[in-house]
A and B are shown apart, each in its own frame.
Chain A
Amino acid sequence: MSELFAFSHPAFIWPAYAITALGVGGLVYWILSERAAVKKRLEREERRAAR
């Protein structure tokens, strides 16, 4: 593990991994929150249609 802190050019390597994590994590968060909103809307429309 100690070699992780001894990389040459850490100012380029770690931002590259951090930005990738942010990009992919943001994408996953966005699709999960989009699903929650869509699910809520569909359930509301199905309840209204059943009335």
Chain B
Amino acid sequence: MISYLANPRRFDIFARYAIPVAGALAAVLIAVGLYLSLIGSPPDYQQGDTIRIMYIHVPAAWLALALYFAMGISSAIFFIWRHNLADVAAASIAPVGMVFAGLCLITGSLWGKPTWGTWWIWDARLTSMLIQFLLFLGYMALRGALEDEKLAARLAAILAMAGLLNLPIVKFSVDWWASLHQGATVFRDGGPSIDPSQLAPLLVMAFGLTALAAWIVMYRMRSVIMDRRARALSQAREARGGAA
């Protein structure tokens, strides 16, 4: 499937059908997810209604990590096989991942204040997530800082691959170090420990935001491909003008 879509023309045809499907799926799931998060689920017996922040905070965290993983793997494919579409994918994922990592930090802070009594603490989970946000930001800054786009893409790919090391640190930080942040309640040995009335809105919001992220990334990939085509035409025209 991935090698089939590695051809930009085939990806373009696939994206024309996949983009509206992902968009429609995102609209429906997010609408249902918001209803379940704000109306259809009960308050937590300990945290009260602040538990409702979890339904956006946790999907944002999952997405930030999943998008970084996708960006890192795309960067590796570009770096090793020089596959331009993989570079387009990595460049398109970066701003989406940065927004979700930022939302994870902000909503986490808004959840932390009433729950822990503090907006921020230099805890292993929070700090490693801040590093994740800075890795997205650094990737985008590096791509934008250099005039030589090919060199910028290769250096950014190296940064993205090196940043993959932070993913297990974020995931296992709550197990490796004493942390204020709670441990895993969904992806854990023995299955989810969270109540089904809270698991349902969490999963619906997670799938909805994932569909939205897929829609944004595919839409942006097509924009980046169009931009590169416009630049190639412009360079060819300038070369013809220079030759004449």
A6 to chain B, nearest CB (A): 9
Knowing that A19-B106, A23-B99 touch, tell me 14 more A-B residue pairs with CB under 8 angstroms. A7-B48, A8-B48, A12-B53, A23-B103, A30-B95, A31-B216, A31-B219, A35-B226, A42-B227, A42-B233, A45-B229, A45-B234, A46-B233, A49-B236
Residues of A at under 8 Å CB distance from B? 1, 3-4, 7-10, 12-13, 15-17, 19-20, 23-24, 26-28, 30-31, 34-35, 38-39, 41-42, 44-46, 48-49
With contacts A38-B230, A42-B230, A45-B230 taken as known, whether A15 is within 8 angstroms of B110 at the C-beta atoms is yes
Residues of B at under 8 Å CB distance from A? 38-39, 43, 48-50, 52-53, 56-57, 60, 95-96, 99, 102-103, 106-107, 110-111, 113-114, 209, 212, 216, 219-220, 222-223, 226-227, 229-230, 233-234, 236-237
**Do A45 and B212 touch (CB < 8 A)?**
no
A37 to chain B, nearest CB (A): 9
**Do A4 and B39 touch (CB < 8 A)?**
yes
**Do A41 and B230 touch (CB < 8 A)?**
yes
Measured CB to CB, the nearest residue on chain B to A45 is B233
State the CA gap A34–B95 with chains docked (Å). 13
State the CA gap A46–B230 with chains docked (Å). 8
One of A15, A17, A24, A38 near B223 (C-beta < 8 A)? A38
Chain A residues within 8 Å of B49, by CB: 7-10, 13
**Do B111 and A12 touch (CB < 8 A)?**
yes
A-B residue pairs, 5 tightest by C-beta: A45-B233, A8-B48, A7-B49, A42-B230, A16-B110
**Do B52 and A13 touch (CB < 8 A)?**
yes
**Do B39 and A1 touch (CB < 8 A)?**
yes
State the CA gap A4–B34 with chains docked (Å). 12
**Do A42 and B113 touch (CB < 8 A)?**
no
A24 to chain B, nearest CB (A): 7
One of A1, A7, A9, A38 near B227 (C-beta < 8 A)? A38
A11 to chain B, nearest CB (A): 9
**Do A9 and B212 touch (CB < 8 A)?**
no
**Do A19 and B103 touch (CB < 8 A)?**
yes
**Do A27 and B96 touch (CB < 8 A)?**
yes
**Do B102 and A23 touch (CB < 8 A)?**
yes
With contacts A9-B49, A13-B50, A45-B233 taken as known, whether A20 is within 8 angstroms of B226 at the C-beta atoms is no
State the CA gap A30–B95 with chains docked (Å). 10
State the CA gap A24–B151 with chains docked (Å). 31
Chain B residues within 8 Å of A39, by CB: 226
Chain B residues within 8 Å of A49, by CB: 233, 236-237
